[in-house]
Structure formats: C-alpha cells, structure tokens
Amino acid sequence: MSAIPQLRNDGSLRHLLTLEGLPRALIERLLERAVHWSRPLGATAARGTALAGRTVAVMFAEPSTRTRVSFELAARRIGAEVAVIEVQLSSRLKGESVLDTVATLESMHVDAFVLRDADATVPDLVATHVAPHVSVLSGGAGSVTHPTQGLLDAFTVLQRKGRIEDLSIAIVGDVRHSRVARSSWQAFAALGAGDVRLVAPAGLMPDAGEFPGCSRHHALESGIADCDVVMMLRIQKERMVEAAIPGAEDYFAHWGLTRERLRKARPDALVMHPGPMNRGVEIASEVADGPQSVIRDQVRNGVAVRMAVLEAVLGS
Ligand code: CP
C-alpha cells in the first residue's frame, strides 16, 4: 500500500496513487459520477466547466495511448488547461531530476500531475514533495498500480452486468507483471467480488501472498469455466525470456483466447482487455472484435472515469 495519505482531512480525495485502502463508498461515488460523464454510444461527449482555471500536467515517461489521451481529453472536457510533457523531449534528458521538473511546473501554477513511470516509486515521491494544494494521480506505475484502469474496468462491468458481488471474474495471462491486474482486482475486491480467479502459466503467476482471496488456475479452459468476465492481459513480450515461457505462437496455442475456448465461460461472459492488445498472442481477433468484447467500451469509459477523478481531486 502507498504510505502517502490520499484523502484530505475532510475525507475528500486529494491524490490517486493506488486503489488499495480506498473506502468502498468513495470508489462508488467516483463510479456514480462517471455515469454522469458517460453518454450512450454515439452521443456527443459530455462536457462541463468544473475545472475552469485549473491546470493539469500530463507527464508520461512510458509509452501510452489510452491513458494519456483520455486524461488529456477528460481534463479539457471539464474546462481545465492541460500541459502535456513529453518526457523524452523534456529537460529530464539533460539530467534534470523528476522533482526539479515538477517544481518547475508548479511554478507555472500546475494544480495536478498525472504521472506514468516505469519506476513505481515516482508518483509517491512526487506526492510527498508537491505543495498542499497540488494533487498527484498515477497513470500507471511500474508493475504495481494503475488505479484509473481499475476504476474503468469496474465501471465497465457494472455498466454491462449491473453488479459485481456474485460474478466470477477471471484475470488471464501475465498477471505477474501487470499493474492492471493488481488495480482491477483491488477495484473488484473493494466492490465485493467473491470469485476472482488468476489464470496464468506458472512463470506469469504472482508470488504467493499477493492477491489474497483469489483462486489460482494453471490452465485456460478450466480457469475460465462458467465465468461472467474474462479479462485478458497483454503478454509482455519483453518479459518472455525472463519468465521462461514459450514464444508467441506457442503462447497462443496454449493460452490464446479463441472463440472455441471462450465457450467454456458463460454464454453472456464479457471479454475485456486493457490494451494494447497483441492479436494472435493472448487473444484472437475474432474474439477481440466479437459480440462479447467490451474492449472499446473500456476505452470509452476511461474518459468518463478520469473526468470523475479529476473533478473529485480538483473540483472543490
Ligand atoms: N490500458 C493502458 O494503460 O493503455 P495505454 O498503455 O495505451 O495507456
């Protein structure tokens, strides 16, 4: 758990670094507010002015499409100014420390930082150094935490199923290296999920003691049997040697979600994937684009959830 207090004295959200330890009522309030910011498919995007006069800096030191763009759109759609800092083009490359970069931006009246970094300690470090009125939001930290992804995954399940408590949810693939798996499980657990399964080859299973309460399965078909939600994870090709698992073709042969394998889950099971997807590695295109897929909903909901989070930390 992050050692940084995320709540202000009045119980409102100041930072969002992790979902671990957040009160269920606060998570539910964020998701309820995200309902307000989401619109039916095809409708014009919702907009507001709650963050007029506020400035959000989006500073990503790792690649991103969904999280970076959706934070940027979310902030603009509720009236904030946005500064996007391309870390690879910033003075960090000339040796400036992350704290000096943050202090520099604070001098320009930035009110919130959205940070992604391979070093999972960076968002906490920044949160301990910013001025009392400034907020820090994690956009993904190492393999440890990706809180807004966890919220948007829970939001997507609630939107489609209307509940979480009695669902069987399988998280499949490279669980070991996945910040998404950790944060989504935390969101599901906070909302009362009773049956969360980790389904992975031995080399991609997290250490014993992590994910308390989850069952562990070492075969795809039995692991997703009768599940309501099948959440596939990106197989991180760069980790394959380290994890001593086979190459992409072998992985797909044993662990790829095909239409035939998906039949083991419930007929109305949702197929989720946080993206970016490796088609033909962890998921077949016919499943990713098929009728049970809610992958595009996840992306769409990411904007609404991030509007709710930004409004919560900066709106008052
Ligand atoms: N799901 C997710 O974090 O995607 P990006 O890496 O594109 O932001």
Q: What is the DSSP string of 233-293?
A: ----GGGHHHHT---HHHHHHHH-B-HHHHTTS-TT-EEE--S---BTTTB-HHHHTSTTB
Q: Are 181 and 126 part of one and the same domain?
A: no
Q: Are 193 and 83 part of one and the same domain?
A: no
Structural domain of 63: 24-145+299-314
State the distance from the centre of ligand 1 to the C-alpha of 299, rounded, in angstroms: 9
Q: Are 156 and 254 part of one and the same domain?
A: yes
Q: How far apart are CA 122 and CA 141, in angstroms?
A: 8
- Residue from 58, 60, 73, 149 to probe ligand 1 pocket by mutation (most atoms less than 8 Å from CB): 149
Q: Are 114 and 169 part of one and the same domain?
A: no
State the distance from the centre of ligand 1 to the C-alpha of 149, rounded, in angstroms: 8
Q: What's 207's domain CATH number?
A: 3.40.50.1370
How many separate helices (H) and strands (E) can be counted in the chain?
A: 12, 9
Q: Are 139 and 172 part of one and the same domain?
A: no
Look up the pTM and report it.
0.96
The count of structural domains within the chain is 2
Q: Are 223 and 152 part of one and the same domain?
A: yes
pLDDT for position 94: 85
Residue 258, sorted as left (phi over 0), alpha (psi -120 to 50) or beta, turns out to be beta
Report yes or no: 56 and 111 within 8 Å, Cβ to Cβ: yes
Report yes or no: 210 and 176 within 8 Å, Cβ to Cβ: no
List residues near ligand 1 (CB under 6 A).
64-68, 140, 149, 274-276
Q: Are 200 and 92 part of one and the same domain?
A: no
User: What dihedral angle (degrees, nearest 10) is formed by the CA atoms of 118, 149, 274, 208?
Assistant: 70
- The verdict on residue 5 lying in a domain is no
- The verdict on residue 186 lying in a domain is yes
- The verdict on residue 63 lying in a domain is yes
pLDDT for position 243: 61
- The verdict on residue 103 lying in a domain is yes
First-to-last alpha carbon distance for the chain, in angstroms, is 26
Residue 187 is encoded by which pair of tokens?
Answer: 């969101």
Q: Are 106 and 168 part of one and the same domain?
A: no
For the four alpha carbons of 220, 222, 224 and 225, in that order, the dihedral sign comes to positive
State the distance from the centre of ligand 1 to the C-alpha of 117, rounded, in angstroms: 12
Atom of ligand 1 nearest to the CA of 68: 8
- The verdict on residue 171 lying in a domain is yes
pLDDT for position 227: 98
Nearest alpha carbon, ligand 1 atom 1: 274
Atom of ligand 1 nearest to the CA of 146: 3
State the distance from the centre of ligand 1 to the C-alpha of 21, rounded, in angstroms: 23
Q: Are 271 and 167 part of one and the same domain?
A: yes
Q: Are 33 and 126 part of one and the same domain?
A: yes
Q: How far apart are CA 173 and CA 295, in angstroms?
A: 16
Q: Are 96 and 172 part of one and the same domain?
A: no
- The verdict on residue 105 lying in a domain is yes
State the distance from the centre of ligand 1 to the C-alpha of 63, rounded, in angstroms: 8
- The verdict on residue 14 lying in a domain is no
pLDDT for position 44: 86
Q: Are 59 and 109 part of one and the same domain?
A: yes
State the distance from the centre of ligand 1 to the C-alpha of 93, rounded, in angstroms: 23
Atom of ligand 1 nearest to the CA of 69: 8
Amino acid letter, residue 99: L
List per-block mean pLDDT (blocks of 10 residues) for the chain, which spans 316 residues.
87 97 97 92 86 97 96 97 90 89 96 96 97 97 96 98 98 96 98 97 94 97 98 78 71 96 98 96 97 98 98 91
